[in-house]
A and B are shown apart, each in its own frame.
Chain A
């Protein structure tokens, strides 16, 4: 039934009451509480504790504990086994009614996977009204919590209060209340881009080697100045960069390209994220998204680098896409309606007129 390995509330290690007032039930409980949290006990474990005289007595003791919610019964490979509950929790459980308890057990079974409200209704056979009332009551007693399922936003999922909902339900660190946290994603992306850019590119001034070349070019031009002016000069005339302060990015040589792991380490190191656990798979999801977004590019299956901004490149084709969309037709809102005759034609087109500067 319930998985024995699943986390369970750690029984609080309270100071045991004075020995003389203890009955056997409490002795057994205390002995069990000495074991590490979440230990699962089999019948043979209890026998080894030497509390009960015989099996019948042991079984009675256990039944009492279970009845008072200090222990819960589970099955593991067809053998019964038991797990402790804290006294607080047990007290709370003792205070609820049968229906609520039934629901609580069902929710407890699924652990952090959560259970859908409709599944609860089917399993319990309760009416919607009763069920809602019970769930409300359990929620106010802080025994269970309601979370939204990111895969099916209309489904309300319930799980025990102290459990973290599984990533499947809440969708990892990038989502808050079922929606992608655009702000968080943006901030982290910027951090990643800055880090990766620093790792993979080197900034040099445009024409880093130009000063000397200029002299050479000039000299050559002088030597050949006697030639007829009609002839093309043999050397490229030296053109100083338009803006001397312009810089460009060049790919670094012999660089260890950042991987998902190293990027995650960097993000964790600068401590920008608080209260969220980011696993490598989450980071990978973000990086994949950034590749789609055109902010990173994949060099090998595991390494990334940033995309060089076209404006950085030292050419003059800035801001142009292709011949089609740079002409008015490419982005024309009525492109589909434009014909050879009728109201909208190339002849009467206002966009063309604007573009060409003719009216």
Chain B
């Protein structure tokens, strides 16, 4: 995560706003101190702020529970240092997206669990059990307290490992906040999460930031630690059965499935260490084990050290996940190995899914260890967002039918990708055989056909001649008014599986022939076997977004200039004119503006010793990585402005909102609110939605620019 630890002031501001929105002012105050002064101890924190020690600790507890902070206690003195986890902090904006993505893929039950995990931070399985199926329903109070200690035992036990437990003593009541940012990202159901940390002070030196989940999904089922009876299956309307988990087995089945797919990962110690400390921890181990304690000298040994360190880091990070996957191959093949079943869950469409899913989960005999601590895997979310963005791009270029086929193909591949790119890669082997691809990264047209939604008309988006060729028989091509038709129209539901395969194959070939090369042909197995070169595509997407931005800000001339520079390298004015076939005067203004925005760079090379301007060469060039960082930075800034504007707009209608949220008014709006107030509320709703939609789209841009691929060389 080292790349993400390069924070910028604007990102700090954005994250502070986000935390303020979700966890209240105290947490955001503590966060902003850390953002301003960097890694520091509790003592330094209190020196740098006006907060009392008690307040600081409360703030830290919230942040740590949500994994927004790294902490480590290196050295002999066991002083704990705190450091911001930028990646996770920014991800606050994506929480709604997570639940949406999981819901699309695994249904509402899974998304309800994810939503719980998100609001709780990392969670012990035992606590989840308790939250869903309280062991003792009669004894309210005792049970609650039990659950509380368990819930936070996770944080405590981890903290203990770092020797900082005695410092933390949590009582915190953060303001209940609405995480609307996320819920409305996909214009999905609003979901109100109240993270109430009630006051539970205990004498022992444990952390007790009592967190109750009040995850209210879609206004139907509510999982509630305080009211076990409700959590245990009160049905409210028809929907309840869909999003409600009926048994412990089912709960564990869903969690296990999500773990196998990589959406949930077991928490390891490495998750809490700052990247630098992680490195510092691994390095001496490797030196001791591989180099017998002697610091390696010479380039060859240094390289070996680097490789070994990266290998160890990967191992530490992935070992717990791999353990889960091993277990799957051993005894869970029956449940999860069958693609047909996975498929039915993957394409959630209507209610038949819930029954089949229910059966599947019910069959599952997995019972997870109570002490296993799990959390949501942010990197997997990036994979899902990558799928989404690629499909959008394909839709723009090739139309929706082909995009649907592409979506199915990418979803089929998703399971094989835990993350978008490896952060600690091995150096590429010079003579590596790049033609061989691990079969898990391949997918055939046949598989795609099987997983494809049956209601798609595959003949759309293809040249009618191709369609006729593949489905043959009684169809003719009719040309009328310079348009081409199929006569009679083919009924998509009457096509045989074989014909469908052919059509899917034709769509995939279209994707292959694009200059983007959305897919790459690999072999002939199963009609045709394909792989996706994500790295190349993601670099393309970055370029595409940069060009889009330039196009919107200026015109096609700017884009043309950037493309010319990218193709030809550094150019002087003459060279630019020749490449763009335009007079110099017209280009000059474009160059000027693009320099101001930081998309292209200028350079002056003196030809004579005196460095006279007249005798220097003036070159311009385009650096994709720089432009990418610049645009990312600007996007962060745009997001911050939107958040600020939203706060301001909300402040304007604050009295009306307050009134509308009063318990006697809720449900009786018509009675208590006058017309002007209702209008103001409606207007506020529109404004908020517009801002939130834009915020979410900017987040997608951030994902494209930042999360799909590591630093670009050129």
Which residues in A have some Cβ–Cβ distance to B below 8 Å?
151, 174, 179-180, 182, 185, 202-205, 207-213, 216-217, 228, 230-236, 247-248, 250-254, 285-286, 288-289, 291-294, 297-299, 308, 310, 313-315, 317, 321-327, 329-331, 335, 338, 340, 345-347, 349, 352, 355-358
A209 partner, pick from B460, B482, B560, B638, beta carbons under 8 A: B460
Complex contacts, A323 vs chain B, CB 8 Å: 635, 694-701
Known pairs A209-B486, A232-B350; list 13 more (Cβ under 8 Å): A179-B583, A202-B463, A205-B485, A213-B491, A230-B238, A248-B399, A253-B506, A288-B579, A289-B581, A294-B556, A323-B701, A325-B548, A346-B642
Complex contacts, A346 vs chain B, CB 8 Å: 640-642, 644-645, 648
A293 to B506, CA, bound (A): 29
Q: Interface size on B (CB < 8 Å)?
A: 85
Verify A204–B485 contact, CB threshold 8 A.
yes
Task: Scan B691-713; emit 1 where CB is below 8 A from any A CB, else 0.
Answer: 10011111111000000000000
The answer to whether residues A212 and B489 also contact, given A322-B549, A356-B649 and a CB cut-off of 8 A, is yes
How close is B592's CB to chain A, nearest CB, in angstroms?
15
A315 to B483, CA, bound (A): 20
Complex contacts, A322 vs chain B, CB 8 Å: 545, 548-549, 552, 697-698, 700-701
Complex contacts, B131 vs chain A, CB 8 Å: none
A299 to B701, CA, bound (A): 27
A232 to B354, CA, bound (A): 12
A327 partner, pick from B548, B583, B642, beta carbons under 8 A: B642
How close is B555's CB to chain A, nearest CB, in angstroms?
11
Report 28 cross-chain contacts, Cβ distance below 8 Å, ordered by A residue.
A179-B583, A203-B482, A204-B464, A208-B485, A209-B459, A209-B492, A212-B488, A213-B491, A228-B238, A230-B239, A248-B399, A251-B513, A289-B580, A294-B563, A321-B548, A322-B548, A323-B697, A324-B698, A327-B694, A327-B698, A329-B637, A346-B648, A347-B645, A349-B645, A356-B649, A356-B687, A356-B690, A358-B652
A233 to B351, CA, bound (A): 9
Verify B691–A356 contact, CB threshold 8 A.
yes
Complex contacts, B490 vs chain A, CB 8 Å: 209, 212
Complex contacts, B469 vs chain A, CB 8 Å: 253
Dominant SS among interface residues on chain A: mixed
A323 to B350, CA, bound (A): 31
Verify B492–A204 contact, CB threshold 8 A.
no
A313 to B400, CA, bound (A): 8
How close is B357's CB to chain A, nearest CB, in angstroms?
15
A299 partner, pick from B513, B581, B649, beta carbons under 8 A: B513
B552 partner, pick from A213, A252, A293, A325, beta carbons under 8 A: A325
How close is A279's CB to chain B, nearest CB, in angstroms?
16
Verify A324–B634 contact, CB threshold 8 A.
yes
Complex contacts, B687 vs chain A, CB 8 Å: 356-358
Complex contacts, A352 vs chain B, CB 8 Å: 641, 645
B574 partner, pick from A151, A228, A252, A253, beta carbons under 8 A: A151
A160 to B350, CA, bound (A): 83
Chain A residue nearest to B352 (CB atoms) is A234
Verify A234–B483 contact, CB threshold 8 A.
no
Verify B463–A286 contact, CB threshold 8 A.
no
The answer to whether residues A330 and B482 also contact, given A289-B580, A292-B579 and a CB cut-off of 8 A, is no
| B666 CB within 8 Å of chain A | no
A166 to B610, CA, bound (A): 35
Closest 7 CB pairs of A and B: A323-B697, A325-B552, A323-B698, A329-B638, A346-B644, A212-B489, A346-B641
Complex contacts, B567 vs chain A, CB 8 Å: 292
Report which residue of A235, A236, A298, A324 has the largest number of chain B beta carbons within 10 angstroms of its beta carbon.
A324
A353 to B685, CA, bound (A): 15
Q: Which of B489-515 contact A (CB under 8 A)?
A: 489-493, 506, 510, 513, 515
How close is B240's CB to chain A, nearest CB, in angstroms?
11
Chain A residue nearest to B645 (CB atoms) is A346
Verify B645–A185 contact, CB threshold 8 A.
no
Verify A324–B638 contact, CB threshold 8 A.
yes
Complex contacts, B635 vs chain A, CB 8 Å: 323-324
Complex contacts, B464 vs chain A, CB 8 Å: 202, 204, 208
| B416 CB within 8 Å of chain A | no
| B267 CB within 8 Å of chain A | no
Verify B460–A207 contact, CB threshold 8 A.
yes
Verify B483–A203 contact, CB threshold 8 A.
yes
Verify B583–A213 contact, CB threshold 8 A.
no
Q: Which of B355-399 contact A (CB under 8 A)?
A: 392, 395-399
A345 partner, pick from B396, B463, B644, beta carbons under 8 A: B644
How close is B287's CB to chain A, nearest CB, in angstroms?
45
Chain B residue nearest to A308 (CB atoms) is B397
B462 partner, pick from A211, A228, A250, A293, beta carbons under 8 A: A250
The answer to whether residues A324 and B701 also contact, given A251-B463, A356-B691 and a CB cut-off of 8 A, is yes
Complex contacts, B238 vs chain A, CB 8 Å: 228, 230-231
How close is A278's CB to chain B, nearest CB, in angstroms?
14
Chain A residue nearest to B586 (CB atoms) is A182
| B559 CB within 8 Å of chain A | yes
B641 partner, pick from A185, A211, A329, A356, beta carbons under 8 A: A329
Task: Scan B151-188; emit 1 where CB is below 8 A from any A CB, else 0.
Answer: 00000000000000000000000000000000000000
Verify B515–A315 contact, CB threshold 8 A.
no
Complex contacts, B466 vs chain A, CB 8 Å: 253
A299 to B513, CA, bound (A): 7
How close is A337's CB to chain B, nearest CB, in angstroms?
12
A224 to B693, CA, bound (A): 34
Report which residue of A217, A228, A323 has the largest number of chain B beta carbons within 10 angstroms of its beta carbon.
A323
| B631 CB within 8 Å of chain A | yes
A236 to B545, CA, bound (A): 32
Complex contacts, A285 vs chain B, CB 8 Å: 581
Verify A250–B649 contact, CB threshold 8 A.
no
Verify B583–A321 contact, CB threshold 8 A.
no
Verify B577–A204 contact, CB threshold 8 A.
no
Verify A182–B582 contact, CB threshold 8 A.
yes
The answer to whether residues A234 and B349 also contact, given A253-B463, A299-B513 and a CB cut-off of 8 A, is yes
Verify A321–B551 contact, CB threshold 8 A.
yes
How close is A265's CB to chain B, nearest CB, in angstroms?
21
Verify B484–A315 contact, CB threshold 8 A.
no
Complex contacts, B648 vs chain A, CB 8 Å: 346-347
Chain B residue nearest to A247 (CB atoms) is B483
Verify A330–B549 contact, CB threshold 8 A.
yes
How close is B219's CB to chain A, nearest CB, in angstroms?
13
The answer to whether residues A358 and B649 also contact, given A314-B399, A329-B641 and a CB cut-off of 8 A, is yes
Complex contacts, B638 vs chain A, CB 8 Å: 324, 327, 329-330
Complex contacts, A288 vs chain B, CB 8 Å: 579
Report which residue of B460, B510, B515 has the largest number of chain A beta carbons within 10 angstroms of its beta carbon.
B460
Complex contacts, A356 vs chain B, CB 8 Å: 645, 649, 687, 690-691
A252 to B463, CA, bound (A): 6
Chain A residue nearest to B567 (CB atoms) is A292
Complex contacts, B645 vs chain A, CB 8 Å: 346-347, 349, 352, 356
Verify A313–B564 contact, CB threshold 8 A.
no
How close is B644's CB to chain A, nearest CB, in angstroms?
4
Verify A325–B549 contact, CB threshold 8 A.
yes
A232 to B242, CA, bound (A): 12
Task: Scan B564-598; emit 1 where CB is below 8 A from any A CB, else 0.
Answer: 10010000001001011111000000000000000
The answer to whether residues A213 and B492 also contact, given A285-B581, A315-B399 and a CB cut-off of 8 A, is yes
| B553 CB within 8 Å of chain A | yes
Complex contacts, A252 vs chain B, CB 8 Å: 463, 465
Complex contacts, A329 vs chain B, CB 8 Å: 634, 637-638, 641-642
| B461 CB within 8 Å of chain A | yes
| B261 CB within 8 Å of chain A | no
A340 to B645, CA, bound (A): 11
How close is A107's CB to chain B, nearest CB, in angstroms?
26
| B455 CB within 8 Å of chain A | yes
